[in-house]
Amino acid sequence: MTEPILVCCDLIKAYPGAAGSAVSGVNLIVRPGEFVCFVGPSGCGKSTVLRMIGGLETPTSGQVLYKGQPVRGVTPGLSMVFQSAALLPWLSVRDNVAFGLRRRGLPAVECRARADHFIQMVGLPSAADRTPRELSGGMRQRAGIARALAMEPEILLLDEPFSALDPETTHELHAQLLRIWQTTNTTMIMISHLIDEALELADRIIVFEMGRVHTELPVALSRPRDVDAQEFMTLRHQLAGLMHR
């Protein structure tokens, strides 16, 4: 068994003034190169856990270990894709993708070249000079993915990246994401609220409920996965049962 790249130890997150904890003791590991999906009803804590992994929130107790080291705030090696793409409206796609690189101090010319490489990788070469306002939702999300990838992360965190998109675009982006995953071998941790999406993409699905890990469901089917195959339907049934109790 390979050494896990990420370990969550007894993660607890309680907000002052709120009754109970958002996250009440989460333990999980993620292995390098894995595609993991967090699923669960809204309010189950999956988003909070992802944010703690990314360093955007500090746990009330417990810790996140990335390659053995505790995560304290935003850490190089961990990058994130947001539900709304969260691009800066006054910057072009290229400048948005290069944003993280520029803040690191790389010279502008090199940042642009690197940005172009990742814009190509997500399939957006024609839109590099456009502003987010001129893009469709799917294109914006591609840009958001490019921006996260430009940091050359080892773990890519995705917070319901496709929930605001239509089914056709989502399907395209699934394929794109899987291609990127297979070529770059980046570890993926994605939150999804759709059973089918999790089953199509993940190696392992972690089901959250009420601030804890409820179950883990390994998905050993080969990709691309056939939604109509018997094994897929069995897993879907199983997962639906776990989620809707």
Partner 1 sequence: MTNNLSPRWHLPHLPHSLPHFGAASRRVRAVALLVALLTLVIVTTLLHTRFQRILPGPGLGISLPELLMYTGYTVARLAVAYVLSLVIALLAALLVTTSKWAETWLMPVFDILQSVPALAFFPVAVLAFAHLGFVEGSALFILLTGMVWSLLFNIVGAIRAIPRDVQDAARMFGARDLKYVRHVLLPAIFPALVTGSMLAVGAGWNIIIVAEYINFGAQPIVLPGLGSLLDRAASGPAHNTTLFVSALISLVLTIILFNRLVWHRLLVRAERYKFE
* Residue numbers at the binding site for partner 1 (CB under 8 A): 51, 54, 56, 74, 79-80, 82-90, 99-100, 103-104, 131, 133, 147-148, 151
Q: Cα–Cα distance between 191 and 210 in angstroms, integer? A: 15
Cα angle for residues 37, 39, 43 (degrees, 5° grid): 135
Q: Which is nearer to partner 1, 100 or 123 (CB)?
A: 100
Is the Cα dihedral 169, 170, 171, 176 positive or negative? Answer: positive
CB of 130 to partner 1, least distance (A): 12
CB of 174 to partner 1, least distance (A): 21
**CB 226, min distance to partner 1, A:** 34
Shortest spacing between CB 148 and partner 1, in angstroms: 8
Would you say 160 or 197 has its CB closer to partner 1?
160
Nearer to partner 1, 119 or 205 (CB): 119
- C-beta of 88 vs 229, nearer to partner 1: 88
- At residue 218, the 3 state secondary structure works out as strand
In angstroms, rounded to a whole number, what is the distance separating the alpha carbons of residues 71 and 54?
8
Of the two residues 86 and 221, which places its CB atom closer to partner 1 in the complex? 86
The token pair that represents 209 in the structure block: 């409920």
CB of 86 to partner 1, least distance (A): 4
Both structure tokens of 106: 């790389």
Nearer to partner 1, 104 or 237 (CB): 104
CA-to-CA separations, 205 to 48, 69, 157, in angstroms, rounded? 17, 24, 14
Distance, CA of 207 to CA of 147 (rounded, Å): 28
Tokens 């297979």 -> residue: 182
Cβ at position 243, least distance to partner 1 in Å? 25
Distance CA 93, CA 131 (A): 6
User: How far is residue 30's CA from residue 216's CA, in Å, rounded to a whole number?
Assistant: 12
Q: How many residues does the chain have?
A: 245
| Beta carbon nearer to partner 1, 106 or 221 | 106
d(CA 217, CA 232) in angstroms, rounded, equals 13
Question: What SS3 class is residue 2?
Answer: coil
Provide, rounded to whole angstroms, the least separation between the CB of residue 80 and partner 1. 5
